[in-house]
Structure 1
């Protein structure tokens, strides 16, 4: 699929938990917080959330939303709710 397709799909899924698989076989889980022309930025989903303790909040590249994935590297994207909830 084209970069334009994934850009549109990521914008459609903004604020939702997704599972993204890249061409190199990596799988990323997170909530889409921002999409630009080159990357989608995810807030990582942590399995221990709401269990107490402390955290450091957001971290990462550019927008502070966790980490960015190049749109051209995406091989597949699906709503994470289909896998986790």
Structure 2
């Protein structure tokens, strides 16, 4: 199990990107959260099996039909053992 903090920049607010992120994470049985940042980026924390997180990152790079991902920054985080689901924070 691994956990990453991911910051996504581009056209990722107001285009259903967080919902897309949540659906993708749930489909891959990943836990964590995502939220909009004041600077127009989206912050994601995601946790799960490495191969599933790699699939998640690949999907996020493509985005949905309305978003445009320009850049993704990753950093490792400590695991949160009791986390049960992936949610959108407001």
Question: TM-score, normalized by length of structure 2?
Answer: 0.32
Question: TM-score, normalized by length of structure 1?
Answer: 0.34
Larger gyration radius, structure 1 or structure 2: 1
Considering fraction of residues, name the structure with more helix: 2
Higher relative contact order (CA 8 A, sep 6+): 2
